[in-house]
Structure 1
């Protein structure tokens, strides 16, 4: 198996609210939009973000386990400059996200986070190192 991710699928408690956040709030364009079931958005050359209605997700994948706190993963959106971090966080705030303040990180970068309607944390990062350059378009 080659190292590649094709889809990132998020189960949405309220697909209409989640759709509004990503499509209307952040301005992303769906490639597939099936009301009440799924919204798929191309987020990279070969990568799709799939926002799936929770009931449909559970019917196929299994019962979702929920607990307190932050989900144990983040999605990241890397940018070319530290100023772009602040700009994207403003976009997240405008879309209705719970947005934290960006900060200088011990590893030399600058990052901040916002949460979508289901609490999924998006890291917005400027990483001046080689790995940060690897992921920029």
Structure 2
């Protein structure tokens, strides 16, 4: 590489000022382009840094639980729920009204049964709590 550079240097020195002029113009154009592109890259980097910094801070009207990684999870969950809702609506449109009414009746029946089980469980827990209260009083008096 040393001999090539020596040859290149000697050729450059032999060129007249008129022959060197296109290279100087190209150099000036390249410098201007570099300055312009550097300024644009700096502006973009600054905007990314500001956006990243703002992403770390809860903004006005924003829920703090939907920040950073949670944003992706929350948006995926919302998209999945929306997809399921649309699919359910499409399926219901395809069903005949009798089948749709039967499914709704079954769904309501299941809800009533679930509520009855919960009610019985609450009553049982209330009775057990009352028994424990009586036992605790008896132990305290003894």
TM-score (norm 2): 0.14
Which has the larger helix fraction? 2
TM-score (norm 1): 0.14
Which has the larger strand fraction? 1
Give the structure, 1 or 2, with the largest relative contact order (CA under 8 Å, sep 6 or more). 1
